[in-house]
Amino acid sequence: MDQPITLTPLLCLNCQAAIPAQIDERAWVCGQCGQGMALDQQRGLIPIQVYYSANVPVSEPGKPYWVTEGQVTLRRETYRSNSQSAREAEQFWGQPRRFFIPAYELPLDAMLSQAVKLLAQQPTLQAGPAARFEPVILAAEDIQPTAEFVVMAIEAARKDMLKNVDFQVKLGAPALWILP
């Protein structure tokens, strides 16, 4: 017999208030105490840091992004040597970079191009008061593969006939930022 799908109600880690979670959502802020939480595949509900950009307008919900510091080490191999691109790559990844992974619903290609754009821009983050935001549908465990895809996209876009790129992306603990 068909059973209706029942969801275990999520309770705030801090104050035990019920969290009205929708089925495809992956992170929340408690409406009662403001605690940030994410659903982790292995560990269940875990606390997370949530920050709100001072630039989120009151009129519209903000957009959630997973933001994390990343250290990228890479080795590129090209069909033709182009020291210019190699230098650019070396310089770009020579310092830790902040990754911004869109966590709200948008098509995959738009999500990736937004992540690539923000990684290049490295916008300054200034925290402000709490604001409404769109549902978080990208799980925290998808941050790493998405960040790796972003690195790949950036390297493939350099004008030097990339043959092979070998890289490692070490990410810090992610926080959720609500941006305009």
Which of 20, 22, 24, 33 forms a contact with Zn ion (CB under 5 A)?
33
Q: Is 32 in the site for Zn ion (CB under 5 A)?
A: yes
Nearest approach in angstroms of CB 9 to Zn ion is: 13
Rounded Cα distance between 145 and 171, Å, is 11
Nearest approach in angstroms of CB 13 to Zn ion is: 7
CB 51 within 8 A of CB 178: yes
Q: Is 55 in the site for Zn ion (CB under 5 A)?
A: no
Question: How many Cβ atoms sit within 10 Å of the Cβ of residue 108?
Answer: 9
Binding range to Zn ion, per CB under 5 A, among 29-37, 61-69, 93-101, 110-118: 29-37
Binding range to Zn ion, per CB under 5 A, among 26-34, 61-69, 88-96, 147-155: 26-34
For the chain, state the CA radius of gyration: 19
Which of 30, 37, 67, 138 forms a contact with Zn ion (CB under 5 A)?
30
Interface of this chain with Zn ion, residues 1 to 20, rule: CB under 5 A: 12, 14-15, 17
CA distances from 110 to 86, 101, 103, 143, 147 (A): 27, 11, 12, 16, 14
CB 174 within 8 A of CB 49: no
